[in-house]
Each structure stands twice: as C-alpha cells, then as structure tokens.
Amino acid sequence: MHFRNERALYKGICKLCGKDTLSIYSQDKPFLVYCHDCWWSDKWNVMDYGVEYNFTKPFFNQWRELLEKVPRIALSVKDMTNSDYCNVSEREKACYLPSAGDNNERVLFSNRVVKNKDSVDLYVSLSNELGYELVNCLQCYNLKFSRNCIQCRDSAFLLDCSNCSECFGCINLKNKKHCFFNQQYSKDEYKNKLKELNLGSYSEIGKIKKEYSEFILKFPRKFANIIRSVNASGDNIKNAKGCVFCFDVVGDPSAENCKFAFWAGETVKDCYDAGVGGGLKIERSYELTDTGLGCDSVLFTAVVYSSFDVRYSINCYSCSHLFGCIGLRNKQYCILNKQYTKEEYEALVPRIIQQMNDLPYIDKKGRMYKHGEFFPPELSPFAYNETIAQEYFPLTKEQALAQGYLWKDPEPRNYQITLKTDQIPDKIQDVTDSILNEIIGCEHQGKCNEQCTEAFRIIPQELQFYKKMNLPLPRLCPNCRHYQRLKQRNPIKLWKRQCQCQGSQGKGRPSQIYQNTCEHTHGKEPCSNTFETSYAPDRPEIVYCEECYLKEVV
C-alpha cells in the first residue's frame, strides 16, 4: 500500500514537453516526471537508462538509483474525456477527483467506483445513479447516506437492504416499500413522515445521522459479507473458492486458492499477498500491488500488467523475464533496464538472487531485506501519508517516522480562507451562486489525521447536484469526507468470535437485547457457532452467524 498513491495530487510541469500537468509526485521529489502523453510516446527510450548490475552494491540501492533516473508518469489514466483531475482511472467522462474509477460519468469526489452516473461522494460503488454518500452500493438510483445496498431507489439512510424503494432509516430489509425506520406505512403515511424532515438542512441531517446510528445498533449484523463462496474467510468476498484472509475479492469468477488478497478482481488464482488492485486475470503471483490484467508468475511488483515472469519491477507493461526494471514496455530478458540475451539473463538472475542474500539491504532502522521481501518502505517514491497505507492503517507523523516511513508535511498554501463553516447557510435553499467564489475552511482545520487540505471550494457541477438533490453543503474538505466513508467499513482484520444470538429467550445480553422474530435451530439456547469476523469483540454491533442472520432477515 505504501507504493500506491491514489489521491494526493500536485501541480507540476512535464519535463519533456514543458506543459503544466497534475502529478502524483510533488515537486520536491527527485523524479523526472512526464505527462501522460509524453510518457507513452516514442519521444524517449526507456532503455537508455539501463545500467550494468554491480555485484558490490546491494540490489535495492541500485534499484532506487534507477528509479530516480527513469521518467515517471504523472498520472495513471486512460481514455479520459473532460476529466483532468483524476488518477488511477480510465474511460471517465466529465468527472472530478474520482480515483480508482472506470467508466463513470459526472461523478465527483469518489473512490473505487465503476459505471456510476451523476453522483457525489461514493466509495466502492458500482452502477449507481444520483447517489450521494454511498458505501458498498450496487445498481441503486436516487439513494443517499447508505451502505451495503443492492438495487434500492428513492431512499435514504439504508443499511444492508436490497430491492427496496421509498424507504428511510432502515436496516436489513429485502423487497420492501414505504418503510420508515423499519416500520411499514402506507404510501400517504410514508410521504407525510418525510414531510416532517428537511434533508436540505445541515443541522437536520446531523440529528438524523445520530438517531439512525443508534437505531441500527438494535439489529443483528451478518458476521461477514461472503456470497456464493466456498472455504472463504475475510469480508466482502463474492464467487470465490479456497480464499483465506481475503478482503474485497469480487468477480465472476473471482479468486481461487488465494491468501491475503485485498482488492482482487476477476480470475485471480494461486496468489499470495496480492495487494491493492491484486489483479484481473492473474495467476501464481506473490507480493504485489496494482498488478494484473493477464499476469502470470510476477513477484514483488507494483503496477505491472500483462506480463510473465517479472520480479522487483514497477510500471512495466506487456513484458516477460524482467528483474529490477522500471517503465518497460514490450521487453524481455532485461535487468535494471539493460537488455540481455536469454542465456545471459538466465545465468545472471540466480547470481543476483544469491548476492541479494549474501549482501542484503539494511534500512535506516536496521532491518534486513534479502531476496523474497517486498521493496523496503524507505525506497517508496511516496511518503506514507500520501498513500492508501495511511487510509487503511493510519499513523501519526511521529509513528510513521519511528517505523522508518517517509512523511510529507503540508505544502505552503497561497490563499486565504474567506468563509468559515459556521458561516455557510444551514439550508441549501439559502445558498446562492456566490458560494462558488468562496474558499471554505474545512471543519477539521487540519487538526485531524485524515490528509486534511484545510480548505476547499464548491465547484459549479457540485453545487448544481446539491440543489437538484436537496442536500446541504458539506463542511469537510473532500479528503476528510473520504475518511468518514472509510470509517463506515470494517477494518481488514479478523477476530475469532461466537455468534451472539441468544436464542428465543434472549439470555446473556444485559443491554441492546435483540429478540428473535422466529425459532432458530438452536431453540432457546444461545447459538454455539463460531466464525472469523472483521467486527472486533469490543464493538457494539450484534453479530450473528450466517444461519441465524438469514433466519431473521430472509
């Protein structure tokens, strides 16, 4: 994760064509950065940077020296239309600051999104339209403030609901309509309940969020979101076989015979430690991040696609038989970007592996790195808090430096905040277009640990969306809003626990007692099923095994 920057963007200049560009590399870094068009062009030859392997120096020292010489691509984008402020994205149309996105239209401030339209502030969402503040939602329309929902429409504040319409403040509902806080109403009664609310008021939304967060604690949660999978453990897994300690593994089919896979996609087989973007169509691979699209036998890599037998390489495409290479395309039998014959390559690689073990890299904390370890963190082109490592395993500056990570302090800002959050109109109806000229101070004021930008602006298409959807203006900058969505998901950790279903008598829970609505197979006695779950034991949710949960929900 420390090698993947998705959302920290900087102004820069292409060192080849001289044009202004956005970049994932700040200008204080020692890299030669090219814009997207120049990097993919024939105006330069990446093989010109190749070097002879030096058996008197540790491998990782030589690799880092090469990293600082080979031009870096400013942003990872492809086939974009009117979507300049994006990264790790392709086929985006009129989008602004989505990352890890594909084929979205008019989507703003979102992450890990595919095929969404006219939506703002999404996280892990697919094929939604007119969505706002959604997490883990699929094929929903006009849905707001919801998570883990499938095919829901014209609703708000839903959790773990599917095929519901015109519902508000509900949890665990299937195929329902006109429900308000899990109570069934007629169509007219439901509309009257909604009239009592003003979702265009920021203060009103705050009260509803508090009430709703307390309400959903009264209902059971399934121990893990594992669907149509065999011998799988982890969370958010679909169509997988034999996957252990895996998270966000989806596809049709998805993963098979994998361990420690995270954000892995379709047809991932026999992989171990497959990190973020652990691949589409990848096999027999180990210790990688953002690698796939037809890879086989790739080890210790980052951003390697459609390649075979690649080790310790980064930003390589359609290659085979590489060791320690950077930025290669359609190459084979290369070491540190230097071309070799097949025979020379096969003779050199075993010698390099032996040398890596005999002369290991020692980092500033005294940790030893031999062959078989991923790149040392201090060799990452990014600071810890520029990467998604900070999102999933947040550290303070002091903690990060103590562990040997780099840290990026905020850059000097040349603007003045013109509007504080307490000066923003409470109701969206009272907001005028003059808000577009204001520099708004983030409510966190940079005092959080969430990559706060301290200030933000409302862009025209964003304001248009809020008015159309009758939603109040946000008080947090986009980064801090992103972190609030991250907090709605469970951590990528597992704990061994026992089902908390207490049977028909409901014994054993002095508070927050949930009374089952039907008889379970274990009758009056507490359920004895155990499982691994991403719900920590000290959390307040009532966690059920799959059997007990389905009895109550389906």
Phi, psi values for residue 551, rounded to 5°: -60, -35
Residue 97's pLDDT is what? 94
Residue 266's pLDDT is what? 80
Residue 280's pLDDT is what? 75
Residue 388's pLDDT is what? 93
Q: Within a domain: residue 385? A: no
Q: Within a domain: residue 315? A: no
Residue 264, beta-bridge partner list: 249
- Looking at the structure of the chain, the number of domains it has is 1
Q: Within a domain: residue 462? A: yes
Per DSSP, the residues of 485-538 read: HHTTSPPS--EEEE----TTTTTT-SSS----SS--TTTTSPP--EEEESS-TT
Token code pair at residue 454: 């301290």
* Strand 295-305 versus strand 308-317 pairing type: parallel
Q: Is the peptide bond before 253 cis (omega within 30 degrees of 0)?
A: yes
Q: Within a domain: residue 118? A: no
> b or e along 329-342 (b: 16 or more beta carbons within 10 Å of the residue's beta carbon)?
eebbbbbbbbebee
The low-confidence residues of the chain, meaning pLDDT below 70, are: 277-279, 505-513
Domain that holds residue 452: 421-486
Question: Using an 8 Å Cβ cutoff, are 453 and 435 in contact?
Answer: no
In terms of Cα–Cα distance, which of 100, 109, 207 is closest to 484? Answer: 109
Q: Within a domain: residue 12? A: no
- For the chain, the 3-state helix, strand and coil shares in percent, each to the nearest 5, are 20, 30, 50
Q: Within a domain: residue 431? A: yes
Q: Within a domain: residue 5? A: no
Q: Within a domain: residue 294? A: no
Residue 204's pLDDT is what? 97
Residue 509's pLDDT is what? 47
- CA–chain centroid gap for 69, Å, is 30
> b or e along 369-379 (b: 16 or more beta carbons within 10 Å of the residue's beta carbon)?
bbbebbbbbbb
